[in-house]
Chain A
Amino acid sequence: ETGVTQSPTHLIKTRGQQVTLRCSSQSGHNTVSWYQQALGQGPQFIFQYYREEENGRGNFPPRFSGLQFPNYSSELNVNALELDDSALYLCASSLGRTTEAFFGQGTRLTVV
Chain B
Amino acid sequence: GIQVEQSPPDLILQEGANSTLRCNFSDSVNNLQWFHQNPWGQLINLFYIPSGTKQNGRLSATTVATERYSLLYISSSQTTDSGVYFCAVGSNYQLIWGAGTKLIIKP
Interchain CB contact under 8 A, B41 and A33: no
Interchain CB contact under 8 A, A43 and B97: yes
Q: Would you call the interface of chain A mostly helix, strand, loop, or mixed?
A: strand
Interchain CB contact under 8 A, B93 and A98: yes
Does B96 count as interface, using CB distance less than 8 angstroms? yes
- On chain A, the number of residues with a Cβ less than 8 Å from chain B's Cβ atoms is 26
Contact flag A106-B45 (CB < 8 Å), given A45-B95, A55-B93, A97-B93:
no
Interchain CB contact under 8 A, B94 and A48: yes
Contact string against B for A residues 60-98, beta-carbon threshold 8 Å, 1 for contact and 0 otherwise: 000000000000000000000000000010101000011
Partner of B31, one of A48, A99, A105: A99
Partner of A45, one of B30, B48, B94: B94
Q: Which B positions have Cβ atoms within 8 angstroms of A?
A: 30-31, 33, 35, 40-43, 45, 48, 86, 88, 90, 92-100
